[in-house]
Structure 1
Amino acid sequence: MTAVSGHGPWPGGEQDVLTAQLTVLDDLAALPTGVDAVPFLVQLTDRGPGADPVGRAGALLSELPVEIGPHGWKLADRPGADARRAQALQQADLEALAIAAHGYDGPLTVEVTGPWTLAAELWSARADRVLADHGARRDLAAALAAGLAGHLAEITAQVPGARPVVQLSEPLLGQVHAGVLPTFSGYARLRSVPGPEIVDGLRPVIDAVHDAGATAVVHLGGTWVGIPPAVLAGADAVGLDLADVGPQGWNEKAWELVARATEREVGLWAGLPPATVSQCSGPQLGELVRTVAEPWRRMGLPADGLAAVTLLASRRRRLVGVDEHRAELANLGRVAEALAERAAA
């Protein structure tokens, strides 16, 4: 059945973690019959440093301590207060999950910044981005793989019935491959990373996810050129924000890559924008249904394959209120219901 999930970011402060996790689980449980729910670990990024995506991923790195520097998170010589705070926030999230998801049995997704985006956003201790150093980025991928394995073990210890799904967030993978990221000085660009190296950087992390008995989704944002390396690295699914791919979600080259991936039994996690709202008829959910279904039909993909698609909201540049997030989940449920009906027709 067509499924609905989410990335994780959710509005709220340090006292709101349990409430947010309960809200997400309850709202997903209320989706229409015939739609699968994939609950997600909430990430309250408003809590400050350590709750942000790079800080959260940095806290997972095995034997690679991090701290906050002038330009953001960077590798450190030894563990410090910044890393301890990030780890404490992550532990609080897991404790809230254990309470909210007590007795839950089913898929549960957690989003983690992927190795290439992390290498692009994390700075080395005394130089440029980690991405600029071949050895450093290789060590980073290995440290993330080891730390993620431990994180998944903690999740299954807290929620024994969970079947973890890891979303590796890679919105900068396209820029890494294109060689457009600026150096520390800003006067030059880092060299592009060729496709085979992209695959090699993703593979150890995806392998660690699989070794832990979990499923790996590589979410690329609008970077559809990242689909082939994600597939070659062993991803079980790829994620795309369809509104960023092209008008009404259509881009022939992008959907050709999606079609090839589905032929290899690699799933699609489709990110959809907020529904436009008409004063007369409310949310225009038909537009969102067509954003997925029309390109699917144009590529000649079998209609019953829509049952394997997972929907989630496209990542926002800024968080909105809780009510807007809840409404978006409800709308996605109705869109998923319509797609499931098309799959069964």
Structure 2
Amino acid sequence: MTAVSGHGPWPGGERDVLEAQQTVLGDLAALPTGVDAVPFLVQLTARGPGADPVGRAAALLEELPVELGPHGWKLADRPGHDERRAETLRREDLAALAVAAVGYAGPLAVEVTGPWTLAAELWAARGDRVLADHGARRDLALALAEGVRGHVAEVREQVPGADVVVQLAEPLLGQVHAGVLPTFSGFSRIRAVPGPEVVDGLRPVVDAVHDAGASVVVHLGSTWVGIPPVALAGADAFGLDVGAVGWNERAWELVARATERGLGLWAGLPPATVSQCSGPQLGELVSLVAEPWRRVGLPASGLDGVTLLASPRAALASTDEHRAELANLGRVAEVLAERATA
């Protein structure tokens, strides 16, 4: 059934995380009949260091301490205040989830920065990006795998009825693969990571999620060239910002191949444009999914398995705007579901 979900970051600065979590669960429960809801663990990123996506994921690394440095998060010799703050914020979020989701049973999405984006964003204790060191990035992937495994267990402990879906955010995977990320000095670029190594980096985390009894979606942003490695790594679904991709025949051919192999599509859509006369232009959002789907030759019935995602820029909007975006996606999903059965 066509579904609606979000990435996790939620607007509102330091507003009450419990209130934000209750809002998400309540709004998604009010979606139109025939549309599935995939509630998500909210992330109030404006709370500062440790609430940001990189800090949250870095604090999960098993036996790899981290701290804040001049350029952002970096590996450390021992755990310190920065890591403890990130862990405290994460536990506060889980406690709020436990209260907001009392009695809930069904899918529940939890977003974590993926191993390649984390390796690109995290710095070595005394050196360049972790990505620049083959051994260090392998160790990071294994440490993240163990951390995510534990995170899934904690989420399930707080919400026993949850069917956990781990969303691995990999917005930098395309730059990692293309070899365009600058080194510490900025005078050169880190060597490109070939496709087979991309698969090898994703697989430990994907396997750990499956071992923990959860499913995994790898979000690629607009990096459609990452679809084959995601499929080969064993992910259950891939996320793609179809609004940014538009009609790109090569991209949609990869989408078709992946869906034919059984992978689900989590389609990221931008906020609807609004007309003063007719309100949100939801037909435009429907077309961003349905038209390329049809042109590439996929059966209309397959639209029933698509999950629509709110924009990753949602945390920069107001709370009311983000809530309106989720409601609009519910109506878009309703149309796609109707087309799937036509």
TM-score, L = length of structure 1:
0.98
Task: Provide the C-alpha distance between the structure 2 equivalents of 1:13 and 1:118, rounded to a whole number of angstroms.
Answer: 24
Which digits, 9 at most, give the CA deviation of each residue in 1:234-291, with x for residues without a partner? 010000011221xxx2110100000000110001000000000000000000000010
The answer for the alignment partner of 1:136 in structure 2 is 136
**CA distance, structure 2, for counterparts of residue 12 and residue 338 of structure 1:** 30
Preserved contact between residue 217 and residue 235 of structure 1 (Cα < 8 Å): yes
- Larger mean CA deviation between 319-328 and 14-23 belongs to 14-23
Distance, in Å, in 1 between the alignment partners of 2:12 and 2:89 is 13
Instruction: After TM superposition, list the pairs within 5 Å mapping 1:158-307 onto structure 2.
Output: 158-245=158-245, 249-307=246-304
Which secondary structure state, in structure 1, belongs to the residue aligned with residue 255 of structure 2?
A: helix
Contact 1:21 / 1:100 at 8 angstroms: preserved in 2?
A: yes
Residue aligned with 1:79, SS: coil
Could you say which residue in structure 1 is the equivalent of 2:77? 77
- Determine the C-alpha separation between the residues in 2 that align with 1:109 and 1:296: 25
Could you tell me how far 1:13 is from its partner in structure 2?
A: 4.0
Q: Which whole-Å CA distance do the structure 2 matches of 1:314 and 1:174 have between them?
A: 19
> CA–CA distance in 2 between the matches of 1:16 and 1:250?
40
1:12 touches 1:47 (CA, 8 Å); kept in 2? no
SS class of match (1:262):
helix
Match of 1:316, SS state, is helix
Q: Distance in 2 between matches of 1:43 and 1:124?
A: 26
Q: 2:9·2:315 contact (CA, 8 Å) conserved in 1?
A: no
Task: Tell me if structure 1 keeps the 8 A contact 2:114–2:168.
Answer: yes
Query: What is the RMSD computed on CA atoms of the aligned residues?
Result: 0.8
Alpha-carbon separation, structure 1, partners of 2:304 and 2:125: 47
One-letter code aligned to 1:199: V
Q: CA deviation at 1:14?
A: 4.1
Match of 1:27 in 2: 27
Match in the other structure for 2:53: 53
Partner of residue 44, structure 2 = 44
* 1:179-212 deviations in Å (ceiling 9; x for gaps): 0000000000000000000000000000000000
Corresponding residue number in structure 2 for 1:324: 321
Post-superposition shift, 1:316? Answer: 1.1
CA distance in 2, matches of 1:242, 1:204: 27
Structure-2 residue corresponding to 1:11 = 11
Give the partner amino acid of 1:328: E
Name 1:121's counterpart in structure 2: 121
Q: Which residue of 2 aligns with 1:344?
A: 341
How many Å separate the matches in 1 of 2:12 and 2:77? 32
Q: Are the counterparts in 1 of residues 11 and 315 from structure 2 also a CA contact under 8 Å?
A: no
The CA deviation at 1:12 is 2.6
Aligned residues with identical type, % of pairs: 81
Deviation at 1:15, TM superposition (A): 4.7
How far apart are residue 314 of structure 1 and its match?
2.4
Q: Is the Cα–Cα contact under 8 Å of residues 152 and 164 in structure 2 kept in the other structure?
A: yes
Q: Does the 8 Å CA contact 2:265/2:306 hold for their aligned counterparts?
A: yes
2:149 partner amino acid: A
Q: Gapped runs of 5+ residues in structure 1?
A: none
Tell whether the 8 Å contact from 1:105 to 1:162 is kept in structure 2 after alignment: yes
One-letter amino acid matched to 1:70: P
The answer to whether the 8 Å contact 2:55/2:73 transfers is yes
Task: Report the 3-state secondary structure (helix = DSSP H, G, I; strand = E; otherwise coil) of the residue aligned with 1:143.
Answer: helix
The offset of 1:159, in angstroms, is 0.2
Counterparts of 1:291 and 1:73, CA distance in 2? 36
CA positional deviation for 1:80: 0.2
Q: Which SS does the other structure have where 1:60 is aligned?
A: coil
In structure 1, what is the Cα distance between the partners aligned to 2:273 and 2:324? 12
Deviations 1:74-102 (A, max 9, x none): 00000000000000000000000000000
> Do 2:17 and 2:96's aligned partners in 1 also have CA atoms closer than 8 Å?
yes
**Any gaps of 5 or more consecutive residues in structure 2?**
none
Q: Pick closer, same or farther for the CA change 1:15–1:328 going to 2, 3 Å.
A: closer
